Amino acid sequence: MSKSVQIYDTTLRDGTQAENFNLSVTDKIRISHKFDSLGIDFIEGGWPGSNPLAVEFFKAMQTEELKYAKLTAFGSTRLFSNPCEKDKNLQALIDAKTPIITIFGKSWDIHVHDALRIELEDNLLIIEESLAYLKPHVEKLFYDAEHFFDGFKKNSDYALATLDKAIIGGADCLILCDTNGGMLPHEVQPIIERVQGFINERGGHVDIGIHAHNDSETAVANSLLALSLGVKQVQGTMNGYGERCGNANLASIIPALSLKMGCEAKSLSNLDKLYDTAMLVDELANLPHNKYQPYIGRSAFAHKGGIHVSAVKRNPLTYEHIVPEKVGNIRRILISDQAGKSNVLHKAKKFGIELDPKSPIASSIVSELKNLENQGFQYEGAEASFELLMRRAIGAQSNYFTLKSFRAINIKRQMAEPPDTEATIRLEVGGKEVHTAAMGDGPVNALDKAMRKALTTFYPTLEEIELIDYKVRVLSGQQGTGAKVRVLIESKDQHEQWGTVGVSVNIIEASWQALVDSISYKLMRDEQRRAKSA
């Protein structure tokens, strides 16, 4: 029989504690709606008693409609020196007007003595009174038992006593927190079982949750273990963001619960939205997506070796633990120096290229691919360049223009000012020579502008191209400034996004190669679209 679980996301609060992870109020609102669409049960929006940004967010959310998720405000127990009605933190939680409030309290006796600097009995008092004061203002009241596992190991009787006071205060769910992230699974299980026994001894009228940090790389494992033991609620963040090494990664927990543990929750039935949700969080935080992340990483279902590719084509279960589309991801066959003919044929099919497996052209493409990668070319992030390579090999690629020459000049006129950069280019299009020049922010930008200026008269749709990413990697440092470099360019138009590559000891030459492929790919795709619509 399947078990119902609650998914509690704290990306907007705990996730923002991560280094370099920042979200505006507008970002947080947009993410909240995305989480709501996914079916997250509880969205922790922030700590209104700690900063004005959180207050602004909760105020803005009062005019926003969430169709499923419940917004949650987070805060702490009252200061021992303040009665509840005069405690600013508790008042801020109430003023946030959320249906759920989560407050945390101290479970570890050294935190009571060293952080709060009060007596153990005083801590028990503020836990009970804070919860009892908030209880009439909310639909549900959650209690985060901070540092619970460490506190239990040090003084189990006191850690359990804090839970007892939280129950008396009216908590609907007790969340056991591995705040320092140091627990291993074999330590978590007996502690959870002892807490379950303790609650049963008291009548068993409260749920248990788990909130794990990832400092020992066990946050997901600890969370899944806890849920397998009957814990009702799991707290975590999308993509595992959080302070220090991060929190339990919901992008890994949610599919595991659905596809491997037979659990039930709204978000588990919307798994195909998981990839897009995780990507949106990265995009709005302006952070690169971890391509190696399980389930929703771009490499999670990427196959590189020729033997693997052959097997996956026959039966994906040979090298995939789930169907990638179930989490909104896709299978990718990588082109690399490990590629066999299977990879090339798979890519040909994807590109709509008819390639006979027995044809010598397929073998020649593999041979050329390996030769180019020995020179430093890499096509895993530049599939557009590889498609052009394949079409040239079968004689199906148009020659849209021919380079005659280019020149890029940097002139430094004032030491306090950036240099002026000018690029001049000579191209031949349809037997007609074009000679143009353009200024730019650096030689690559100037070259790009000059090339487009020369070509847009003939190909007006080139104005639609937007260069969205430009990466340079030194392939070997042994030659110092004379080392080869690889340039990867990511471009897009209103239809799609594509990557191209160039390699040379000259960064301008490598950039030129990638730019030419980018423009050629755009013109090829436009030509294909026109042919389809004709």
Count of domains in the chain? 4
Same-domain check for residues 479 and 436: no
E strands in 129-204: 140-146, 173-178
Whether 486 maps to a domain, the answer reads: yes
Query: Is 310 a residue whose pLDDT tops 80?
Result: no
Same-domain check for residues 314 and 230: no
- pLDDT tens digits, one per residue of 408-453: 998 888 888 888 899 999 999 989 999 999 999 888 899 999 999 9
Same-domain check for residues 412 and 481: no
Query: Residues 220, 226, 229, 232: what is their CA dihedral angle, to the nearest 10 degrees?
Result: -110
Threshold 0.75, pTM exceeds: no
Q: What is the mean pLDDT of residues 349-378?
A: 84
Query: Is 35 a residue whose pLDDT tops 70?
Result: yes
Give the CB-side neighbour count of residue 410, counting CA atoms within 13 A: 11
Query: Is 315 a residue whose pLDDT tops 80?
Result: no
Same-domain check for residues 176 and 325: no
Reduced to 3 states, what is the DSSP secondary structure of residue 405? Answer: strand
- Check residue 309 and give its pLDDT: 66
Query: Is 529 a residue whose pLDDT tops 60?
Result: yes
- Helices in 352-496 by DSSP H: which ranges? 360-375, 383-393, 443-455
- Check residue 477 and give its pLDDT: 52
Whether 314 maps to a domain, the answer reads: yes
- pLDDT tens digits, one per residue of 258-287: 999 999 999 999 999 999 999 889 878 878
Phi, psi of 433, deg, nearest 5:
-90, 135
Query: Is 1 a residue whose pLDDT tops 50?
Result: no
Whether 291 maps to a domain, the answer reads: no
For 487, the domain range is: 376-400+463-534
Question: What is the identity of the amino acid at 192?
Answer: I
- Check residue 476 and give its pLDDT: 66
Residue 24 to residues 56, 281, 285, 304, Cα–Cα distance (Å): 10, 12, 9, 39
**Percent of all residues in the chain with a pLDDT value above 70, rounded to a whole number:** 95
Same-domain check for residues 208 and 325: no
Same-domain check for residues 62 and 160: yes
Same-domain check for residues 174 and 58: yes
- Check residue 504 and give its pLDDT: 94
- Check residue 229 and give its pLDDT: 97
- Check residue 340 and give its pLDDT: 62
Q: What is the mean pLDDT of residues 469-484?
A: 72
Give the CB-side neighbour count of residue 287, counting CA atoms within 13 A: 21
Q: What is the mean pLDDT of residues 211-235?
A: 98
**Cβ atoms within 10 Å, residue 119:** 12
Whether 158 maps to a domain, the answer reads: yes
The residues, ordered by sequence, that sit 6+ positions from 1 with a Cβ below 8 Å of its Cβ are none
- Of 322, 345, 368, which marks where a domain is finished? 368
Same-domain check for residues 359 and 383: no
Q: What is the mean pLDDT of residues 49-66?
A: 93
pLDDT grade for 374, boundaries at 50, 70 and 90: confident
- Check residue 175 and give its pLDDT: 98
Query: Is 339 a residue whose pLDDT tops 60?
Result: no
- pLDDT tens digits, one per residue of 232-259: 999 999 999 999 999 999 999 999 999 9
Query: CA-CA distance, 103 to 261, in Å (whole number)?
Result: 30
Whether 296 maps to a domain, the answer reads: no
pLDDT grade for 481, boundaries at 50, 70 and 90: low
Same-domain check for residues 312 and 216: no
Q: What is the mean pLDDT of residues 73-86?
A: 96
pLDDT grade for 2, boundaries at 50, 70 and 90: low
Query: Is 336 a residue whose pLDDT tops 80?
Result: no
Average pLDDT taken over every residue of the chain: 91
